[in-house]
Amino acid sequence: MAVNALTARDLSFGYPDGTAALDGLDLTIEAGERVAILGPNGAGKSTLLSLLAGLREPAGGEVSYFETGKSADDLRDRIAHCPQAPVDYLFNATVREDLEYGPAQLGIDRREAEERVDALAAEFALEGLLDKPPFRLSGGEQRRAALAAALSVEPDLLLLDEPVADVDAGHRETVLDALDRRTEAGMTLVVSTPDADLVPQVAHRVVVLDRAGSIVRDGPVRDVLTDGDLLRDVGVSPPQLVEAFQRAELDNPPLTVTDAVERLRDLDDC
C-alpha cells in the first residue's frame, strides 16, 4: 500500500475579517497521485493549498505529511507550493537568484544547484531571462519562472495554484510535459484550477469545492467531469468536449482531444 503524501483532518480556516474559507475539510492524498482541486473563484482553493503547504495555521484540524509526524517547515526540501500570483514567489534580484534560492536555503551544494538551474532554464525556456529582474518578466514568463523555482528543490509533493493561467499554448505544453515527467518519476501533484478543461491534462482524481469551501465530490476524473449538473451547480463549466458530446446526446464523452478524434472517427465509420 502506498504511503499517504498528505492527510488533512477536519481542517478549518477563517480570515481575520470574518470570511469563513474552509470548514471541517478532510482530504487524503496518496504518494504519487495527481489530484486537481476544482472550484469556482472564491471557493477557497488558494486558501486550501496554502493550508496544505503549512503556510497558514488552521483554526482547527491538522495536516500530516508522508506519515512522518513532522511539520511542513521541517520538510521544506520535500514540499513545494507555488502561489497563484507568481510575483509573490519571485522576490530575488534576478531570475537566476530566484532559481538558486530554494537550493541555497536548503544548503544544497553550489555546483549541484547550478546544474539544476541550467537544466530548469532549458526545460522552461528561461535561458534568455536568467539575468533579468523577475518583475520585468511577462505574466506567463513569471509563471514559468515560479514553477521552475518551485521545482529547483526537487520536491516529493508539489502544490500548484492555477499553474497555466496566462501561459501561452506552446509554453502550456512545456509546463504540462514538465509536470508529467515529475509525476512519472513519483512526485505527488496537487493542482488547483477553476477550469474543468485543464483537469484531465493534469490529474487522475478531482476534488470539487463549492462556493462555501466544502468538498462536494471527490473521485476519478471521468466520473466527476461527466457530471455536468454537479459542475454547473457549483459554478464551474463542464469541459467543452463533454458539453458538446452530451448536447449531441452521445454517451461516454471524451475528455481529451485525442480521445475525441478517435470517437469522431468511429462515428464516421458506422
Ligand X SMILES: Nc1ncnc2c1ncn2[C@@H]1O[C@H](COP(=O)(O)OP(=O)(O)O)[C@@H](O)[C@H]1O
Phi-psi region of 165 (alpha: psi -120 to 50; beta: other; left: phi over 0): beta
Output 160 or 231, the one with its CB closest to other proteins. Answer: 160
The minimum distance between CB 9 and ligand X, in angstroms, equals: 19
| Whether 82 contacts 150, CB under 8 Å | yes
d(CA 247, CA 159): 35
193 scored as a contact of ligand X (CB under 6 A): no
d(CA 267, CA 270): 6
The residue at minimum Cβ distance from Mg ion is 46
In this chain, which stretch among 84-92, 191-199, 206-214, 222-230 interacts with other proteins, using CB under 8 A?
Answer: 84-92
45 scored as a contact of ligand X (CB under 6 A): yes
53 scored as a contact of other proteins (CB under 8 A): yes
Output 120 or 158, the one with its CB closest to ligand X. Answer: 158
163 scored as a contact of other proteins (CB under 8 A): no
Q: Who contacts 234 (Cβ-Cβ below 8 Å, separation ≥6)?
A: 39, 40, 43, 208, 209, 210, 211, 216
Output 120 or 160, the one with its CB closest to Mg ion. Answer: 160
Output 22 or 120, the one with its CB closest to ligand X. Answer: 22
Using CB under 6 A, pick the residue from 12, 23, 42, 104 that binds ligand X.
42
Using CB under 6 A, pick the residue from 27, 29, 39, 164 that binds ligand X.
39
**Computed over its alpha carbons, how large is the radius of gyration of the chain?**
19
Q: What is the dihedral of CA 95, 99, 104, 106, to 10 degrees?
A: 150
44 scored as a contact of ligand X (CB under 6 A): yes
Name residue 22's beta-bridge partners. 13
43 scored as a contact of ligand X (CB under 6 A): yes
